[in-house]
Copies of this chain bind each other. A is one copy, B any other.
Amino acid sequence: MKYPNGKKVDKTVKFKNTANRGMSLEDDINTSNRYYLDYDFAVIHKKPTPITLVHVDYAERSKTKITEAYFKEPSTTDYNGIYKGKYIDFEAKESHSKTSFPFTSIHIHQINHLKAVSRHGAIAFIIIRFTALNTDYLIKADDFISFYETTDRRSLPVSWIKDNGYEIISNYMCPCDYIKLIDKVFD
C-alpha cells in the first residue's frame, strides 16, 4: 500500500514517534475504530459530545441552526461498543506529564460509570497517552479504581502504570490498536 508521500510502507511497522500519529489520541482512536469496523473486528464508536441546547433557530427550513448551546459534563465514558460478543467500554485521556496522570483529568461520573459497567461484566478500561513519553497504555478499570479508592495520592504514577498497565503497540493502519490487547488482558 502507498501513503501520500508515495513511499511504500510495511503494514505491520511499529512506530514510537508521534510524527506518524494523528493530531490527537481521539483522532487515533477514531481511525482505529474505523479500521475495526471496516475489517469487521469490532463495532466501537465515540459518543457525541453532550451539549445543552438553549436556542435553536428553525427559521431556515432547510437547516435547523443551533444558535446557543453549552458543553455539558459527560455522565458516561466517551467510547463503547461490542467485540467478540462482549460489551466494551472505555475512556481515553492524554497526559502531558512525564511522571503521572492526575485524577482531576477524569470526571467522577466517568469513574462511577466504569465501576457500574464492570460490575455488570463489561470489558472496561482506560487508555492514557503520555505525550511526553510517546506511549499509550491500557489500564483495566478495576485496577485503576482499586488504586484510586485506596490511595492518598492525587495522581496515578507512571511507575505504577508500567507495572499494572499494558502498553498499546500500534501501527499505521491502526494508530491506537487497543483491541489487540483485549484477548490477552481480559480472560
| A-B pairs with beta carbons under 8 Å apart, 24 shown | A40-B116, A40-B119, A42-B120, A43-B113, A43-B117, A43-B120, A45-B75, A48-B50, A49-B51, A64-B71, A65-B69, A65-B70, A66-B70, A66-B71, A80-B80, A80-B81, A82-B117, A82-B120, A83-B120, A84-B120, A85-B121, A85-B122, A86-B121, A87-B87
Q: A100 at interface (Cβ–Cβ under 8 A)?
A: no
Q: Which residues of the other chain, B, contact A95 by a CB distance below 8 angstroms?
A: none
Q: A72 — which chain B residues lie within 8 A by C-beta?
A: 48
Please give the residue numbers on chain A whose beta carbons come within 8 Å of chain B beta carbons, in ascending order: 37, 40, 42-43, 45, 47-51, 63-72, 75-76, 80-89, 113, 116-117, 119-122
**Which residues from B are CB-within-8-Å of A80?**
80-81
How distant is A114 from chain B, measured CB to nearest CB, in Å? 10
CB distance from A175 to the nearest CB of B (A): 20
User: A63 to B70, Cβ gap below 8 A?
Assistant: yes
Complex CA distance for A71 and B65, rounded to whole angstroms: 8
Give the nearest-CB partner of A41 in chain B.
Answer: B120
Residue from A75, A76, A120 whose CB has the most chain B CB atoms within 10 Å: A120
